[in-house]
């Protein structure tokens, strides 16, 4: 996979990608972004979870003049949930450029939307029916739109919006750039491409059927604030020989590494900001066993050839299923078995199911590990050492001293003291990590015009939705909700 840096993306968008923790492009992003930046029309055949939002969002944002307070980018999405999610992600991608984004969808008071539109958004993300209402009322001016995106076109066809789509595109300047994304390509969608697009380039990326052998896959459901304690408890229970822990961002890697060191683990981190010399030094320590735990970002871990990794931990779930397979493939090599454990927040469960479906595998649920279980795990490790020493014999020179101790103390007290000495007494140093917003993906729903999926996510694993349940919609149904996404998400 290519890095975003290699795709010719502007520095101001790269700054946003870096803050979001994304270094490596997914296949749809790698193929679409250069075409989009070159001004080409694109037909992208790609499924949920492949990274479409950044694929069409980055070229759109690159062309927007932030000083022109007119709608320059228009994204049409089938559901209100997807419109909200895409709007939030476009806002984050365009944050440092000062791009203002506004979601428009049915069920929200028209007057509030009109006030938001008068505030001068650069990008509008809308559902087809409500968008047409605004165009007909002349409350949305499409004369300055240079980039139009149809996201999940086949879903809009299924919901009965195909004629609305044609009407919308006819209202946008003919010299626009059009980007159409669809998981399937029925003839009605092909017809739109042929009649309303200009010599479109076709990009086809299918979610791969990836299987993972020799690796036990587990997940632990934990809230963000519980994850670090759960990780350290699990490390003490499982006592891996060599483990890799994956974090989503460079800052995350640094904080997890420092936290592990504070609690007495032999851990080092690697990410893209390290010099080559430092990176090689850390990897040398890890391969030799002087460091037992390597904390890494996806990009930093790329190309690692370490055959004795026993455990992989996804402290942060990756943005796409392919990255998940690459990560856990660091263990279970050369015919050996490995263990992979992913920490999943409640809002990321739909993303977990997407990974399971794509990889054709099942993750088994584990209970949140407790400190008492961790303590018993360390004691069991000491017991194992004692038993191995007994089995190896060669204890004769210690028997006289042992006998003297037994004259003074009972046997249970002596064994307990030995276990205490041999067990690691983990420092319970408080560790606080910077918050990372959970990923979410859109769930399937019913068909038919006007039907919406109950709890939509984004089309992409790397959405950063900060809202829960009813609150997600509520913020668009109050006075502040009429403003653009810059105000909603800052």
pLDDT at 102: 96
Do 176 and 220 share a domain, yes or no? no
On whether residue 488 sits in a domain, the answer given is no
- Matching residue, tokens 């050369």: 334
The strand pair at 73-76 and 123-126 is best described as: parallel
Do 140 and 109 share a domain, yes or no? yes
Helix (H) or strand (E) holding 148: strand 147-150
**Percentage helix, strand, coil for the chain under 3-state DSSP, each rounded to 5:** 45, 15, 40
Residues in the chain: 490
Query: Distance between CA atoms of 60 and 40, rounded to whole angstroms?
Result: 11
Do 134 and 216 share a domain, yes or no? no
On whether residue 148 sits in a domain, the answer given is yes
On whether residue 487 sits in a domain, the answer given is no
Burial pattern 406-423, b for ≥16 Cβ within 10 A else e, equals: eeeeeeeeeeeeebeeeb
Bridge partners, 338 (sequence order):
215
Do 457 and 418 share a domain, yes or no? no
User: What tokens were used for 404?
Assistant: 């003297």
Do 297 and 431 share a domain, yes or no? yes
Residue 175 DSSP code: T
Do 146 and 22 share a domain, yes or no? yes
Residue 102 DSSP code: E
Q: What string of pLDDT tens digits covers the 490 residues of the chain?
A: 688 889 999 999 999 998 887 878 888 899 999 999 999 999 998 766 567 899 999 999 999 999 999 999 999 999 887 898 899 999 999 999 999 999 999 888 999 999 999 999 999 999 999 999 999 999 999 999 999 999 999 889 888 999 999 999 999 999 999 999 988 888 999 999 889 999 999 998 765 545 567 899 999 999 999 999 999 999 988 989 999 999 988 899 999 999 999 988 999 999 878 877 888 889 889 988 899 999 998 877 765 667 789 999 999 998 778 788 888 988 887 667 899 999 999 999 988 998 888 888 889 999 999 888 878 877 887 788 888 888 888 888 888 898 888 888 888 888 888 877 877 666 677 788 887 777 755 444 333 333 333 333 333 333 333 333 333 333 333 333 333 333 333 2
Taking residue 199's Cβ as centre, other Cβ atoms within 10 Å add up to 6
Query: Distance between CA atoms of 61 and 99, rounded to whole angstroms?
Result: 8
On whether residue 229 sits in a domain, the answer given is yes
Do 130 and 266 share a domain, yes or no? no
Do 129 and 220 share a domain, yes or no? no
On whether residue 308 sits in a domain, the answer given is yes
The total domain count for the chain is 2
Q: Could you give the count of Cα atoms lying within 13 Å of 229 in the half-sphere of its Cβ?
A: 17
Phi-psi region at 359: left, alpha or beta (left = phi > 0; alpha = psi -120 to 50): alpha
Do 398 and 300 share a domain, yes or no? yes
Q: Residue 329 maps to which CATH number?
A: 3.40.50.300
**CB 194, CB 54: distance < 8 Å:** no
Residue 52 DSSP code: H
Tell me the H-state helices in 265-368: 276-288, 298-301, 321-328, 349-359
Overall pTM > 0.85: no
Q: Could you give the count of Cα atoms lying within 13 Å of 381 in the half-sphere of its Cβ?
A: 19
Give the structural domain span for 319: 209-439
Do 61 and 84 share a domain, yes or no? yes
Taking alpha carbons only, the member of 480, 485, 487, 483 closest to residue 119 is: 483
On whether residue 395 sits in a domain, the answer given is yes
Q: Could you give the count of Cα atoms lying within 13 Å of 464 in the half-sphere of its Cβ?
A: 19
Do 429 and 472 share a domain, yes or no? no
Do 218 and 255 share a domain, yes or no? yes
On whether residue 446 sits in a domain, the answer given is no
**CB 220, CB 369: distance < 8 Å:** yes
């Amino acid at each position: 996979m290519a890095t975003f840096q290699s795709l010719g993306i502007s520095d101001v968008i790269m700054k946003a990608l870096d803050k979001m923790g994304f270094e490596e492009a997914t296949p749809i992003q790698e193929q679409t972004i250069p075409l989009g930046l070159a001004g080409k029309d694109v037909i992208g055949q790609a499924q949920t979870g492949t990274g479409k939002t950044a694929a069409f969002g980055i070229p759109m944002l690159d062309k927007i003049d932030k000083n022109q307070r007119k709608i320059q980018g228009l994204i049409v999405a089938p559901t209100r949930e997807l419109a909200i999610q895409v709007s939030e992600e476009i806002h984050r991608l365009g944050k440092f450029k000062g791009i203002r984004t506004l979601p428009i969808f049915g069920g929200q008071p028209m007057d509030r939307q009109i006030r938001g539109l008068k505030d001068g958004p650069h990008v509008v993300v809308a559902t087809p029916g409500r968008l047409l209402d605004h165009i007909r009322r002349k409350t949305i001016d499409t004369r300055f739109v240079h980039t139009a995106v149809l996201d999940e076109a086949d879903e809009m066809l299924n919901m009965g919006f195909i004629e609305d789509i044609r009407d919308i595109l006819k209202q946008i300047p003919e010299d626009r750039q059009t980007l159409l994304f669809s998981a399937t390509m029925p003839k009605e969608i092909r017809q739109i491409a042929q009649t309303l697009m200009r010599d479109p380039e076709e990009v086809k990326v299918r979610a791969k059927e990836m299987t993972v052998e020799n690796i036990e896959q587990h997940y632990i459901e934990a809230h963000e604030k519980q994850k670090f304690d759960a990780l350290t408890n699990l490390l003490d229970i499982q006592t891996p020989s060599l483990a890799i822990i994956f974090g989503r961002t460079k800052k995350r890697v640094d904080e997890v590494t420092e936290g592990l060191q504070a609690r007495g683990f032999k851990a080092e981190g690697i990410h893209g900001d390290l010099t080559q010399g430092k990176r090689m030094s850390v990897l040398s320590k890890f391969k030799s066993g002087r460091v037992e735990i390597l904390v890494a970002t996806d990009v930093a871990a790329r190309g690692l050839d370490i055959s004795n990794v026993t455990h992989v931990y996804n402290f942060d779930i990756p943005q796409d299923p392919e990255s998940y397979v690459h990560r856990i493939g660091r263990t279970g090599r050369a015919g050996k078995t490995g263990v992979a454990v992913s920490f999943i927040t409640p809002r990321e469960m739909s993303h977990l199911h997407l990974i399971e479906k794509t990889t054709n595998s099942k993750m088994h649920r584990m209970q949140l590990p407790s400190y008492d279980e961790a303590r018993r795990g360390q004691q069991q490790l000491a017991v194992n050492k004692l038993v191995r020493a007994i089995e190896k014999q060669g204890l004769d020179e210690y028997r006289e001293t042992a006998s003297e101790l037994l004259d003074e103390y009972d046997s249970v007290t002596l064994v307990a003291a030995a276990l205490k000495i041999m067990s690691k007494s983990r420092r319970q140093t408080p560790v606080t990590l910077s918050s990372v917003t959970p990923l979410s993906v859109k769930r399937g729903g019913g068909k038919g015009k006007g039907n919406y999926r109950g709890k939509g996510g984004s089309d992409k694993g790397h959405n950063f939705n900060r809202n829960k349940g009813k609150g997600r919609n509520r913020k668009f149904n109050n006075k502040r909700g009429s403003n653009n996404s810059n105000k909603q998400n800052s």
